[in-house]
Amino acid sequence: MDSFQYKFTVDQLQQDILLAFLSDLPFDAFEEKEGEILAFCPANQSIPELEANLGNLKEHVAFKYEKQLIPYQNWNAIWEENFTPIIVDNFCGIRADFHPSITNVKYEIRINPKMAFGTGHHATTRMMIQMMKDLPMRKGKVLDFGSGTGILAILAAKMDALLIDAVDIEKPAYENAIENCQLNDVDVVQIYLGGLEVILDSGYDIILANINRNVILDSLKALYNKLKRSGILLISGILQTDEELVLKAAKEVGFTVDGKKRLDKWSCISLIS
């Protein structure tokens, strides 16, 4: 399918804020550069509605954008040009097939993101990976809610989780996560297409949710109920300015705060049920 590429020019200080707003709109993928965000959506998307929403966003963030039609066959060339390997401490490295192997990390993940969101470059993914390092993943039952390209689910599998369910509402993400699991020889991840309602199981030791503030707020009660007692919910996709709002809602549901990390205006929070 053809796609539209939206090139947003924005002050670097407001770049993360704009990205947070854009993540609530029907874009399938993002690439970030200094002062610039590339956002992609299918050409069959309701473009007038999308651009009306962009007009409304200008009341909150100052930006300019230009649009370009990208034929489907050019997508791989676009992300290959922009995608560089990611190394998170000496713990995890993420690369594409055309990159050389990363040897100085404990876990290496290979991905081919295509039209799915999540190459691992964003601060929220980096913090999730950093905080996963200290989670009791071995032999655990894990849910990756909003799994994107499957990076966190694959890492959980490499950390010897016993069973991992992963779910994403976007079909390109669902399809790409399956492909990336195969690429990494991971066979303990069951991937679902849909929202949290398609996950019928419960009693998870750990739930990973790197999504956005609104989805997390709407899902806190359901996530609490899907955890076993003293289970861990690790969340990100939350701006630091929204941190207290999310923490207040989490405490009202029954969570206690276990730890926090901050990077580039974003927060990552560990909660215990």
Q: What is the pLDDT of residue 172?
A: 79
Q: Which long-range contacts (CB under 8 A, 24 or more apart) does 216-221 make?
A: 216/246, 217/245, 217/246, 217/249, 219/145, 220/249, 220/250, 220/253, 220/255, 221/253
**Residues 228-253, mean pLDDT to the nearest whole number:** 94
- Specify the pTM: 0.76
pLDDT at 119: 61
Instruction: Give the confidence band of 76 by pLDDT, cuts at 50, 70, 90.
Output: low
Cross-strand partners of 262: 267
What is the mean pLDDT of the segment spanning 53-64? 92
Percent over 70 (pLDDT), the chain: 93
Does pLDDT of 117 surpass 80? Answer: no
Please give the mean pLDDT across all residues of the chain: 89
143-181 per-position pLDDT tens digit: 999 998 899 999 999 999 999 999 998 887 899 899 999
**Looking at the chain, how many residues does it have?**
273
**For residues 142 and 129, is the Cβ–Cβ distance under 8 A?**
no
Amino acid identity of residue 50, one-letter, is L
Q: Cβ contacts of residue 86 below 8 Å, gap of 6+? A: 93, 94, 95, 119, 120, 121, 126
Give the bridge partners for 70, in sequence order: 3
pLDDT of residue 258 exceeding 60, the answer is: yes
- CA dist 32 and 230 (Å) reads 37
Given a cut of 80, whether residue 229 has pLDDT beyond it is: yes
Query: In this predicted structure, what is the pLDDT of residue 261?
Result: 94
pLDDT value of residue 164: 98
